Amino acid sequence: MSDLKYELKELIIEECEKECTPEEIKDDEALFGPDSVLELDSMDALQISMALHKKYGLKTTDSKKLKKIMVSINTLAEYIESN
């Protein structure tokens, strides 16, 4: 697991106060929606986006773009690495 992906998992767990470990989150599993193990919601998305802005300088106010970025750990990491 890459350092960035591990950091993202830790960030999500901390920001959303989830009771799991980074190892329990698969890189390609959905972060939101009915298939999500984490059961994240729109408030979690807001907290995660604010934390991503603070830690990585990621800033987007376009909710459609944000939804595409936060599909999984893989999509988040790819977006951060490409910017």
pLDDT at 22: 95
Q: What is the mean pLDDT of residues 69-76?
A: 95
CB-side exposure of 62: number of CA atoms within 13 Å?
Answer: 4
CATH hierarchy code of domain 3-82:
1.10.1200.10
Q: What percent of the chain has pLDDT over 90?
A: 75
* Separation of first and last alpha carbons in the chain: 20
Please check the confidence at residue 76 and state whether its pLDDT lies above 90.
yes
pTM of the model: 0.91
Euclidean distance between CA atoms 34 and 32, whole angstroms: 7
If you ran DSSP here, which 8-state letter would residue 20 be given? Answer: S
One-letter amino acid of 62: D
**How many residues are given for the chain?**
83
Give the confidence band of 1 by pLDDT, cuts at 50, 70, 90: low
Neighbours of 33 (CB within 10 A): 10
Euclidean distance between CA atoms 32 and 81, whole angstroms: 21
pLDDT at 83: 82
